[in-house]
Amino acid sequence: MLSRRSFLAAGSAGLVAAALAGTLPGLAQDADTLTIAFNVNLPSFDPTTGASAVNPTIQAIYRTVFDQYIGQAPDLQFVPGLLTDWGFNDDKTKVWFDVREGVTWHDGSPLTPDDVVWSLTRAADPSNGNPVSGVWASIGNFTVTGNRIDGDVVAFDPTIFKWMAFLTGYVLPKAYYEKVGAEGFERAPIGTGPYMVDAFESNGFLRLKANDAYWGEKPNFRTVIFKFVTDATSRAAEVESGAADVTLEVSYEDFDRLRVSEGLGGVAVPISDIGMIFLNNIDAMLDKNVRLAAHHAIDKKAIIDRLLRGYGIPIDTLQAPEYEAYDASIVVGYDEAKAKELLAASGFSPENPVKFAIQTTRGLKPKDYEMVQAIVGMWRKVGIEAEIEVYEIAKHYELRAADQLAPAAFYNWGDAIGDASASTGFAMFGPSPHSVWDTEDLDAMIAPLWTEKDEAKRIAGWKAVDKYIAEEGYVIPLLQYVQPILFKAGLKVIPNTSGALQPSLISRV
Question: Would you say residue 24 has pLDDT above 80?
Answer: no
Q: What is the mean predicted confidence (pLDDT) over 384-406?
A: 94
What CA dihedral angle connects 376, 377, 379 and 384, to 10 degrees? 80
Q: Residue 449 has what pLDDT?
A: 96
> What single DSSP character describes residue 363?
S
Task: List 153's β-bridge partners, or say none.
Answer: 139
Question: Would you say residue 21 has pLDDT above 60?
Answer: no
Give the chain's mean pLDDT.
Answer: 92
Question: Would you say residue 18 has pLDDT above 70?
Answer: no
Sign of CA dihedral 215, 219, 223, 229: negative
pLDDT in tens, 95-125: 999 999 999 999 999 999 999 999 999 999 9
Task: Provide DSSP, 121-159.
Answer: HHHH-GGGT-TTHHHHTTEEEEEEETTEEEEEESS--TT
pLDDT in tens, 186-236: 999 999 999 999 999 999 999 999 999 999 999 999 999 999 999 999 999
Question: Would you say residue 10 has pLDDT above 90?
Answer: no
Question: Would you say residue 23 has pLDDT above 70?
Answer: no
Q: What is the mean predicted confidence (pLDDT) over 143-162?
A: 97
Exposure class string for 2-23: b at 16+ Cβ within 10 A, else e: bebeebbeeeebeebbebbeee
Question: Would you say residue 8 has pLDDT above 70?
Answer: no
Q: Give the span between the Cα atoms of 185 and 187, in whole angstroms.
A: 5
Residue 372: name the closest of 381, 364, 383, 360 by CA: 360
Q: What is the mean predicted confidence (pLDDT) over 289-294?
A: 98
- CB burial of residue 77 (10 Å; 0-12, 13-18, 19+): exposed
Q: Residue 29 has what pLDDT?
A: 52
Q: Residue 363 has what pLDDT?
A: 86
Portion of the chain with pLDDT greater than 70, in percent: 94
Q: Residue 469 has what pLDDT?
A: 98
| Phi, then psi, of 142 in degrees rounded to 5 | -80, 145
CATH topology (fold) of 270-481? Dipeptide-binding Protein; domain 3 (3.10.105)
Q: Residue 46 has what pLDDT?
A: 97
Q: What is the mean predicted confidence (pLDDT) over 37-43?
A: 94
- Number of helices (H) and strands (E) in the chain: give both, helices first: 16, 19
Fold match flag (7-228 vs 270-481): no
Q: Give the CA count within 13 Å in the CB-facing half-sphere of 50.
A: 12
Question: Would you say residue 12 has pLDDT above 50?
Answer: no
Q: Residue 6 has what pLDDT?
A: 35
Residue 229: name the closest of 214, 217, 240 by CA: 240
pLDDT in tens, 449-492: 999 999 999 999 999 999 999 999 999 999 999 999 999 999 99
Residue 35: name the closest of 492, 487, 383 by CA: 487
Q: What is the pTM of this model?
A: 0.84
Q: Kindly give, in sequence order, each residue whose CB lies less than 8 Å from that of residue 433, ignoring residues fewer than 6 positions away.
A: 131, 400, 401
Where are the domains positioned within the chain?
7-228, 270-481
* Strands 384-390 and 408-414, bridge-based pairing: unpaired
Q: Residue 366 has what pLDDT?
A: 86
Q: What is the 3-state secondary structure (H, E, C) of 373-399?
A: HHHHHHHHHHCEEEEEEECCHHHHHHH
Structurally, at CATH architecture level, domain 7-228 sits in: 3-Layer(aba) Sandwich (3.40)
Portion of the chain with pLDDT greater than 90, in percent: 89
pLDDT in tens, 302-332: 999 999 999 999 999 999 988 999 999 999 9
Q: Residue 28 has what pLDDT?
A: 44
Q: Residue 190 has what pLDDT?
A: 98
pLDDT confidence band for 433 (50 / 70 / 90): confident
pLDDT in tens, 341-369: 999 999 999 999 999 999 999 988 889 99
- Edge-to-edge strands of the sheet including 148-153? 83-88, 94-99, 148-153, 139-145
